[in-house]
Amino acid sequence: KAGVTQTPRYLIKTRGQQVTLSCSPISGHRSVSWYQQTPGQGLQFLFEYFSETQRNKGNFPGRFSGRQFSNSRSEMNVSTLELGDSALYLCASSLDGLRTGTKLYNEQFFGPGTRLTVL
Amino acid sequence: AQTVTQSQPEMSVQEAETVTLSCTYDTSESDYYLFWYKQPPSRQMILVIRQEAYKQQNATENRFSVNFQKAAKSFSLKISDSQLGDAAMYFCAYRSDGEGAQKLVFGQGTRLTINP
């Protein structure tokens, strides 16, 4: 089974531009989460999508947005790029579904990341 | 809000020896999951081991084991018989146990070097 894929792997943009990153989850996975990794702030949760709906959101400005398609592929968009947006963006997918009260754990599998550099 | 703290930015160990990485966390929740992830230079985040808070028994995966102290909110990772391939950044992470809870809260990471 193919793992989580992210495209592109590397991206260079200039301040003020916008960028779209893509994440294809493992087949059958319906939850996709996005994380930003920087040397200063570490790994921070951006948002999570499940069945085309944003289910959780981290503390990032509105310039960061995302969406999920019916095939569970997800995109995240950053508008009006700033130098501080330079980071490794990771996505993770999971089987997670609706639970009925019993404990249910589904591992999150991470993609290789997209390295975004803002000049 | 939950927080995770890793107080050791860097650790090193001789090949074949044992090393312990520390992690503390803060939460008011009673049910949650704790994880150790490994991120080698290739950047692919890999799950090493997980611990369910409701389980008293410490998790073990081959050479990797944890010491989970719920009352002290401590979650350390022990790597036995260290191998060169264990060199990586190690992140401790917390996840709530709730409907649709997928958000991971990460510590700052510990860079582990294995000396041959």
The pLDDT value recorded for residue A100 is 46
Phi-psi region of A78 (alpha: psi -120 to 50; beta: other; left: phi over 0): beta
Which residues of B are less than 8 Å from A108 in CB distance?
A: 47, 102, 104
Mutation target vs B (from A5, A32, A54, A110; most B CBs, 10 A cutoff): A110
Inspect the interface and report whether the beta carbons of B33 and A105 lie closer than 8 Å. yes
Residue of B nearest to A43 (CA): B106
Q: Which of A42, A56, A90 is nearest residue B103 as measured by Cβ atoms?
A: A56
Residue of A nearest to B41 (CA): A112
Amino acid at B83: Q
Given a cut of 60, whether residue A90 has pLDDT beyond it is yes
Please state the φ and ψ torsions of residue B56, each to the nearest 5 degrees.
-80, -25
Which residues, 6 or more positions from B54, have their beta carbon under 8 angstroms from its beta carbon? A103, B31
- Put simply, whether B45 touches A (Cβ < 8 Å) is yes
Residue of B nearest to A51 (CA): B100
pLDDT tens digits for range A45-88? 999 999 899 988 999 999 999 999 999 999 999 999 999 999 99
Tens place of pLDDT per residue across chain B (116 aa) = 899 999 999 999 999 999 999 999 999 998 899 999 999 987 789 999 999 998 889 999 999 999 999 999 999 999 999 999 999 999 999 998 776 678 899 999 999 999 99
Given a cut of 60, whether residue A103 has pLDDT beyond it is no
Alpha-carbon gap, residue B70 to A116, rounded angstroms: 38
Ranked by mean pLDDT, the top range of A76-80, A94-98, A100-104 is A76-80
